[in-house]
Chain A
Amino acid sequence: MKLLIHICLFIPFIGFAISLAIRRGREANMARLALVTMIGSLISIVAAVSYWLVGGGKPVNVHDLSLYDDKAGHFHFFLDFFMDRVTSVYLLVGATVGLVVVAFSRRYMHREHGYGRFFNTILFFYFGYVFTVLAGNLETLFMGWEMLGISSFLLIAFYRLRYMPVANAIKVFSIYRLGDVGMLLTMWMSHHLLHENVAIYQLNFDGNQTIILDHYGEALFLAIMIILAASAKSGQLPFSGWLPRAMEGPTPSSAIFYGALSVHAGVFLLLRTYPFWKGIVLARVLIGAIGLATAIVGSLIASTQSTIKGQVAYSALSQIGIMFIEVALGLEMVALFHFAGNAFLRTYQLLVSPSSVAYYMREQFYHYALPVYPSFRFPFMRRAYMGAYLFSIREWNLDILLFKLIFKPLKKLGKPLWFIRRKSVLYILLPVYALGIVLSYTHMVTIPYLRHGIAVVFGILALAVVVKSYNERASSRLAWILLVMTHFFIHLAISFNLDQPNFLEAVLYLGGVSLAGVVGYWCLDRVRVAEGRIIDLNGFHGLVRKHRFTALIFLLCCLGLTGFPITTTYLGEDLMLAHIDSNQYVLAIVVSLSLVVLGIAAIRVYARVFLGKLTRDYHNKLELTY
């Protein structure tokens, strides 16, 4: 079984890795590789699922690679994979839809500028999907989760020199990041609650169930965080506004992401973490309520949508709302059945959406009936009806709500920090940091409460720094430096929790940060020199056309800095969280928020410098499909 699971993981990974090596313009090679990968993956998944079924269909756990173990039993980071009903259904649906979409795109994307990039991203997404679905513990799941997020960003912003796709990609990424707070805090809390990095299958053990029921408060917090993550990823209320906005990429990518796979990831998370919250009635009620609300609101909005993709997006959402209800009721099989059908149906509807003009016009031509306008007995009814209609046209202001929820507070928070400029970073933040180091390592303060208090203060400082970075407009380099400093402040804050400095962990965490930070700074500086001007963040610059290579490196740096599992920062972040005690809610939330804002701010820098604007002149040839 272990071997089969490894093969299931290995095939998409190797496919993705090879795809990176294929040169630009080699459409046939790329398509062949993607197709072979998807077919191979489907075969391996069918084999794994069959083997598992023959073996009795009992949940199987595979304890895998150990990445970090502090030997004290305090923190053990390991990859872990898991196979059960949920896994196998998600795998099969994923592989089928993936194969369909790849086979479809092979011809559909022909001659599109970025053909290779499209398949790179699709394969990367697919790898992330399989990884997530097979994950056996939260840490592993989170790795896959992050891959889904970043590949989503890349595909929404596929037309990377246009403003709208890039702006919407940032919006979607931000909401994903918000969901990631949920994931981070879930990991943190479960670690403390169960005293180890548990594998999911262990949750059903009686001992663990007892723990969960005994610590009702903590367990409820945990459940709410899971619900936050799941709702954000699956576009449930109040996050629904992002899903239609994500339909900016080529139609097949919209189909695979927002019709079929990515959007059902929230349902998957709920199914997977069912043992965490099954005993908590309040959590089940909450999930059901969110689902019900989304189902109703979603279908109301869907009925007033006058674009096909918007309509499919909202009706997919309302069906996912129903799935939330099913999951809350514990109807796992019903939900799985519903998921697969919904995924296929929405994929189909999106892929044939360009046909709809001809199809519906014809239908209307032969079956047209004069519209019947509603009449009302009471004026009140009329007002309610019109109001509901207008409200649904406005998509229940969900988009505005998101803006108010995420972006506006960030902007407001940033205003008082106007005095930090690129030069003054040195005079203001560095001394503070140095002071912190002294305080932390010399053990001048030994009273635990006070140390915790100082930790929170530095945590808030980290948040302030990253918020400043998010609001920075004048200089991309300053924004970048502030991002790097955020990590240092986070580390500093956590270090107040340690009895003695742990250098290995510091190197793991800050080493990755420094590497990404230095290289990233170099990239920005290179661009500044080449362009001969300071690259501000007031608008989009679209420099990827001129600086392809630098843009790629910088993107990798952004990923490294945001704790994407390509540098040791990823591990470091988890370690940091693990060092926060279970009663330090404030610190945990502040640190998680900082990490979230950091992700948004980093992607913002990347997007503003390299994407989102097309400058045209009389001399240079322009690809038609930019």
Chain B
Amino acid sequence: MLLENEVLHKLGHYLPSQLALKDFVHHNTLHAFERRPFHDALWQASQAFGYTTYLSLEEFRAMHGQGRVSDEALDRAILAGTPAAPGHDQAAQLAFWRERMFHYSPQKAISGRLGQVRKVFKDQLRINLGKLTHPILFRLLSAYFDQGVATWRLPLPPQGFLHTIRQLSTNGFANIFKTNRCRNLLLNEQLTVFDLLEMLIGDSRLFENYLFDQQFEHPGWSGFVHTVSCQPATLLEHRPINLKELVVFELLLELDVVLHRWKEGYKPIGYLVDYPVIPIDAPCPADDDLPVVLRLWQESYEWTYFNEVLKGLMAPIAITPKPKPSFQALFCIDDREYSLRRHLERVDPTCDTYGTPGYFGIAFYYQPEHGKFFTKACPAPISPAHLVKEEGRRKGHRKDPHLSRRSHKLLWGWLIASFLGYWSLLKLLVNLAKPSLTRTTNYSFAHMDQKARLLLESTGQVEHGLQVGFTPAEMAQRVEAVLRSIGLARNFAPLVYVVGHGATSTNNPYFAGYDCGACSGRPGAVNARVFADMANRPDVRQLLAKNGLTIPPSTVFMGAMHDTTRDQVSFYPDAPLSANNQAIHEKHREYFEKALKMNAKERSYRFATVRRSLTTDQAHHTMALRAYSLFEPRPEWNHTDNALCIIGRDQVYRHLFLDKRPFINSYDYREDPTGASLIGILSAAIPVCAGINLEYYFSRVDQQMLGAGTKLPHNIVGLFAVNNGIDGDLRPGLPSQMVEIHDPYRILFVIEHLPEVVQKVFDSQPALYHWVQHEWVLLCVLHPMDGQCYRYCHGEFAPYVPFGPPVSTVQNEGDILEVIDKQKALAVRGQLTNELL
């Protein structure tokens, strides 16, 4: 039997871990199962917790009918993934499993093991504990956590959840519990979870199961409590709490209910439970072929697509050496930046673009002027030691009188309702007729004022334990690391753009999920600008030159930000430009403009409400309106359809139209023969990209339990999460409006390097290797010498032999638009997804 702490630890391990909405960071929804092989983990999760972990058989079969799962991929999956038939009869093996895949339809419900103990209350004692305890539990929790919805805040300093509850109930006239027993128990600070379980359940063999039953009736709340206890900084106003406090309080509430109901004496229910109960994490042997069938479908579905990609990557192309680039631009690895880069390179074939994580290697906290807090400007797991401040902001924060908290007060409410109320109608009508930027819009460029300056240079000042600004040596080190990792160490163009990205949306609680993930869900403009300013400094360049990285004095770095929702780019021309540079910059602006419009046009085809016949200008305009429209639950598709991560030089993928599926990190294997930089790249790319990919995967296949459900009935709780209605559980995960057209593929990493180097890199990094080993991410290596792909499978690289006709390649933008048009036609026919062409 486990000790109390061990049980709570295990419980916390299986609970969803989503931070507050402002820090929306994608992560693997089933992180608890990460240490098992992918398919085993999915089956285990499904059997134990009742999650749906694959698409349904019906959907797989329908996709086979549409040609989205090919027969060849299917046969390969069967031959590779099932035991051979007697006598190695491949035909028999294929026939058997094909029959299973197409005709085996077990109609059994997905139920899971939760509730084995708790159901006794409902079925035998006829008491619905959840219904009686959840409302007050949720209300107290949300009042405790509340970050600024309620106008009457918690009247005590928060010093622990139970402490606050004790204070409230002993210092006030109102009581939480009906029975004196529970009132006294609450005051006992030595009270343990097992003490309470002894009183409620009695049989210690059932304790663990009961805790799972109880907490998984509201996984959202429990998960949030656990997450806050691990990462308290996710709430601006800190709220100390831990899972034990929640469990103790909930058990007290339940005990109160049963003691009140059975005044004459309550007998712990342990004796009523059918023993033995199955432990929640006991192995789940399959009793039929279902797990194999699902696995085969998933694999053939994935490899039908990946086969096309690998074919394209392996297609021999004539590499024409590029002339001196007109300009260079650094973008985020984000899949949304890939399509813009593609268009930019079509508009101006002489430019060079690069992908690198959008914090541009510089980790710091950022404080806007007048801001009372810092925001993190780097990936969530990093803890920065520096602070960058903004100075000289022109635009202040503007309030909306209709959202004033006073409108909820009695007399103010009367005044505001009677007089300002009419004006709010006008605002609604205006937004319906002609959406535009309002005070409710979360505007990407508001994060940092364009006219403001950033205090970059360190003066030795320290605030809150953070060094304000960077020393030149620190700057040089960071700039060099990024430039070397992407292979931009020579041949600099006169202008190098550093383009961050952010998103603009209205009426969107998930706004942070649309911004740059490498900047902890904030717009990446600050990092882009900081990087450019650093790289422009003469002292930094001197230091760089010492290390053999010479940037010519005529080269200017310029920060910029791409608004992915509206497809707009704003530049931050902090460094003075020569007349010549000014002139070419103007030209580049036009290129950007054109590329952005085409990007908008390309994005527009995925929206059934945008007409196909629109010109690029019109499409650009229409797409931008989505950012401001109150009535638009899908401002953009965000990472929908991500499926690839390519780490290599641009000639590897330049000839392909990869839609908006790949994350791309530029990398030149020639600069990094030992794979040292590759470790750095993979350490950032695998957790981030796999996190995004798997969260999309699970939210798509199980919208009810692993996703957040449809956005439309969502209600904001305390500014940190959403739920349905008033009394519902919190809803972690992604809403249907973000994932509905997503194709749930696992992500395929393609690295351009020698297989043995890649092998060595993974061998040296166990934390990265487990992703690949257990196939949560798939891995291929593109051999730079022979152009052959090697698929990583069962611990070794094996050459990948593609099937099917060769892929067609894209020549110019006309082709791309044609592809888009064709896709739109597909979408109209109800196949709202896309294939590589």
Report which A residues bind B (CB closer than 8 A): 96, 100, 103-112, 158-159, 162, 164-165, 168, 244-245, 247-251, 254, 295-296, 299-300, 302-315, 318-319, 322, 337-338, 340-349, 351-368, 371, 373-374, 382-395, 399, 614-622, 624-626
B714 touches A354 (CB 8 A): yes
A308 touches B413 (CB 8 A): no
Query: 5 A-B pairs, CB-CB below 8 angstroms?
Result: A111-B740, A307-B715, A341-B417, A363-B397, A626-B704
Taking each of A355, A360, A383, A619, which has the highest tally of chain B beta carbons within 10 Å of its own beta carbon?
A: A355
B155 touches A345 (CB 8 A): no
B57 contacts partner chain A, Cβ-Cβ < 8 Å: yes
Closest to B728 in A: A164
Tell which of A352, A354, A390, A622 touches B403, judged by Cβ atoms closer than 8 Å: A352
Cα-based distance from A547 to B427 in the complex (angstroms): 43
A348 touches B712 (CB 8 A): no
Complex interface: chain B residues within 8 A of A399 (CB) = 135
Cα-based distance from A304 to B152 in the complex (angstroms): 5
Tell which of B105, B110, B143, B148 touches A393, judged by Cβ atoms closer than 8 Å: B143
Q: A105-B631, A354-B508, A355-B508 are in contact. Are A303 and B408 (CB under 8 A)?
A: yes
Complex interface: chain A residues within 8 A of B171 (CB) = 382-383, 386
Complex interface: chain B residues within 8 A of A344 (CB) = 421-422, 424-425, 428
Closest to A394 in B: B136
Cα-based distance from A310 to B22 in the complex (angstroms): 21
Taking each of A251, A347, A616, which has the highest tally of chain B beta carbons within 10 Å of its own beta carbon?
A: A616
Taking each of B21, B154, B719, which has the highest tally of chain A beta carbons within 10 Å of its own beta carbon?
A: B719
**Apart from A158-B713, A359-B403, A361-B147: 19 A-B pairs, beta carbons within 8 A:** A112-B710, A251-B714, A299-B410, A306-B142, A306-B143, A307-B149, A313-B726, A315-B408, A318-B410, A319-B414, A338-B414, A344-B424, A354-B716, A357-B21, A361-B148, A363-B148, A391-B174, A621-B58, A622-B704
Taking each of B145, B421, B506, which has the highest tally of chain A beta carbons within 10 Å of its own beta carbon?
A: B421
Complex interface: chain B residues within 8 A of A622 (CB) = 52, 56, 703-704
A306 touches B146 (CB 8 A): yes
Which of B163-204 touch A at CB < 8 Å? 167-169, 171-174, 176
Cα-based distance from A390 to B144 in the complex (angstroms): 12
Complex interface: chain B residues within 8 A of A251 (CB) = 712-714
B370 contacts partner chain A, Cβ-Cβ < 8 Å: yes
Complex interface: chain A residues within 8 A of B399 (CB) = 363
B65 contacts partner chain A, Cβ-Cβ < 8 Å: no
Q: A344-B424, A373-B157, A617-B108 are in contact. Are A355 and B56 (CB under 8 A)?
A: no
The 3 closest A-B pairs by CB, nearest first: A386-B172, A341-B421, A387-B173
Complex interface: chain A residues within 8 A of B152 (CB) = 300, 303-304, 389, 392
B372 touches A356 (CB 8 A): no
Cα-based distance from A299 to B339 in the complex (angstroms): 51
Which of B746-789 touch A at CB < 8 Å? none
Cα-based distance from A625 to B148 in the complex (angstroms): 30
Complex interface: chain B residues within 8 A of A625 (CB) = 703, 709-710, 712, 736
Complex interface: chain A residues within 8 A of B709 (CB) = 625
B392 contacts partner chain A, Cβ-Cβ < 8 Å: no
Q: A307-B718, A373-B156, A389-B172 are in contact. Are A357 and B439 (CB under 8 A)?
A: no
A616 touches B109 (CB 8 A): yes
B281 contacts partner chain A, Cβ-Cβ < 8 Å: no
Cα-based distance from A624 to B739 in the complex (angstroms): 9
Which of B600-656 touch A at CB < 8 Å? 608-609, 629-634
Tell which of A110, A337, A362 touches B609, judged by Cβ atoms closer than 8 Å: A110
Q: A359-B400, A386-B168 are in contact. Are A364 and B147 (CB under 8 A)?
A: yes
B17 contacts partner chain A, Cβ-Cβ < 8 Å: no
B805 contacts partner chain A, Cβ-Cβ < 8 Å: no
A354 touches B402 (CB 8 A): no
A348 touches B424 (CB 8 A): yes
Complex interface: chain B residues within 8 A of A250 (CB) = 710, 712-713
Cβ distance A323 to chain B, nearest Cβ, rounded Å: 9
Which of B1-52 touch A at CB < 8 Å? 21-22, 52
Q: Mark B714-748, 1 if CB is under 8 A from A, else 0.
A: 11111100011111100000001101100000000
Complex interface: chain B residues within 8 A of A110 (CB) = 608-609, 633-634
Closest to B144 in A: A306
Q: A244-B726, A358-B508 are in contact. Are A100 and B630 (CB under 8 A)?
A: no
Complex interface: chain B residues within 8 A of A391 (CB) = 174
B633 touches A108 (CB 8 A): yes
Closest to A310 in B: B726
Q: A311-B149, A389-B155, A620-B58 are in contact. Are A342 and B417 (CB under 8 A)?
A: yes
A389 touches B716 (CB 8 A): no
B294 contacts partner chain A, Cβ-Cβ < 8 Å: yes
A342 touches B421 (CB 8 A): yes
Complex interface: chain A residues within 8 A of B368 (CB) = 365-366
Q: Mark B48-70, 1 if CB is under 8 A from A, else 0.
A: 00001010111100100000000
Cα-based distance from A254 to B417 in the complex (angstroms): 18
Complex interface: chain B residues within 8 A of A319 (CB) = 413-414, 417
Closest to A337 in B: B418
A302 touches B372 (CB 8 A): no
B102 contacts partner chain A, Cβ-Cβ < 8 Å: no
Taking each of A358, A388, A395, which has the highest tally of chain B beta carbons within 10 Å of its own beta carbon?
A: A358
Complex interface: chain B residues within 8 A of A366 (CB) = 368, 370-372, 396-397
Q: A308-B149, A387-B174, A390-B168 are in contact. Are A619 and B57 (CB under 8 A)?
A: yes
Complex interface: chain A residues within 8 A of B150 (CB) = 303-306, 311
B424 touches A308 (CB 8 A): no
Cα-based distance from A319 to B432 in the complex (angstroms): 27
Complex interface: chain A residues within 8 A of B145 (CB) = 306
Cα-based distance from A148 to B106 in the complex (angstroms): 43
Cα-based distance from A302 to B440 in the complex (angstroms): 22
Tell which of A162, A318, A337, A358 touches B511, judged by Cβ atoms closer than 8 Å: A358
Complex interface: chain A residues within 8 A of B568 (CB) = none
Cβ distance B375 to chain A, nearest Cβ, rounded Å: 8
A614 touches B440 (CB 8 A): no
Cβ distance A407 to chain B, nearest Cβ, rounded Å: 11
Closest to B104 in A: A619
Cβ distance A60 to chain B, nearest Cβ, rounded Å: 27
Cβ distance B738 to chain A, nearest Cβ, rounded Å: 10
A96 touches B413 (CB 8 A): no
Cα-based distance from A299 to B150 in the complex (angstroms): 11
Cα-based distance from A387 to B168 in the complex (angstroms): 8
A345 touches B420 (CB 8 A): yes
B725 touches A168 (CB 8 A): yes
Complex interface: chain B residues within 8 A of A338 (CB) = 414, 417-418
Tell which of B58, B400, B441, B631 touches A104, judged by Cβ atoms closer than 8 Å: B631
Cβ distance B607 to chain A, nearest Cβ, rounded Å: 9
Cα-based distance from A74 to B197 in the complex (angstroms): 68
B173 touches A248 (CB 8 A): no
Closest to A162 in B: B724
Complex interface: chain A residues within 8 A of B717 (CB) = 306-307
Complex interface: chain B residues within 8 A of A361 (CB) = 22, 147-148, 236, 719
Complex interface: chain A residues within 8 A of B715 (CB) = 247, 307-310, 353
A393 touches B140 (CB 8 A): yes
B587 contacts partner chain A, Cβ-Cβ < 8 Å: no
Closest to B700 in A: A624
